Amino acid sequence: MSQNDNVDIPYIDYTRLITCILYEGGGSRVMELLHHKGLNECHMYSVRGNPIGRASLAGGLPEIPKTEIVNLVVSADQADYVYAMLYEECDMKHQGKGMIFVNRLSRSSRVALPPEMEHAA
């Protein structure tokens, strides 16, 4: 196959990106919960930042925040269920815990492993 050949990559247009920002950490617990629910298209990372209005704990010195962000991709029909589950599990009804939002993905594609890799996984 040469570089000039057009390769058609099938794409899916009914997926959603759910972003969960946790101001008090807990991203690894959320990742474990998602894995047990069969949702493996997710990742987590730590960032620096606090919600607006949160005072520093060390008398004016900036604290090291435990803010973590979890992103996951789900199908459109799963998005409401997963959103509600994360809202409850992360206790988002309390102020300052974090926030969750859902974005429609314009395109996403499936990762297809070669047959020999599927058996190894």
User: How do residues 2-50 score in pLDDT, each as one tens digit?
Assistant: 555 666 666 677 899 999 999 888 899 999 999 999 998 899 998 876 6
107 contacts 9 by C-beta, under 8 angstroms: no
Q: What is the DSSP letter of 115?
A: H
pLDDT surpasses 80 at 59: no
Range of the domain at 28: 22-41+81-89
Question: Is 37 contained in some domain?
Answer: yes
Question: Is 32 contained in some domain?
Answer: yes
Q: What is the pLDDT of residue 16?
A: 94
Look at the chain and report how many structural domains it folds into.
Answer: 1
pLDDT surpasses 90 at 83: yes
Nearest CA among 88, 45, 87 for reference residue 69: 45
Question: Is 36 contained in some domain?
Answer: yes
Question: Is 56 contained in some domain?
Answer: no
Q: What is the pLDDT of residue 108?
A: 80
Question: Is 5 contained in some domain?
Answer: no
pTM: 0.74
Nearest CA among 14, 16, 6, 41 for reference residue 104: 16
Q: What is the pLDDT of residue 7?
A: 60
